[in-house]
Amino acid sequence: MAIVMGSMQITNRLDLEDTKTKQIILAAYVTAQAVVIGVSFLIQRRITAKKDTTVLKYLDQPKPMSGEQPKLVTTTNMDYDLEQNAQAQKQALIGLALMVFLHFQFGVIRPLIVQSILPI
């Protein structure tokens, strides 16, 4: 929370009307997202290289307020890790698409600063 508030204070001090400042912010955002996606793919390669086929049993928690009971899932460590990594990749790409849309459609620049600091 302190990082978010600190980055918001930084945005108040920046000249967001200057095109050079906007380009630097965009470059920082793209770099941060590239690092996140790159690390995610490196993790995926490590998981597949290790091929840990140890059986893993866990309770899959249902969505809140659905009234369903948790169900027991049996899988391997590799499959579980790949599934979790795929979810993280999906979240990163959806966040990237949302920020790109907001920036190019509405000219929003402030959230890009926060989103370029948070992944690091």
Mean pLDDT of 84-96: 94
In this predicted structure, the answer to whether residue 50 has a pLDDT above a threshold of 80 is yes
Q: Tell me how many domains the chain contains.
A: 1
Could you tell me which residue, 64 or 49, shows the higher pLDDT? 49
Mean pLDDT of the 72-84 span = 95
- What is the extent of the structural domain holding 26? 2-117
DSSP code for 17 = T
Q: What is the pTM of this model?
A: 0.81
DSSP for 107-119 reads ---HHHHHHHHTT
pLDDT digits (tens, 9 = 90+) for 97-108: 999 899 889 888
Cβ neighbour number for residue 44 with a 10 Å cutoff: 16
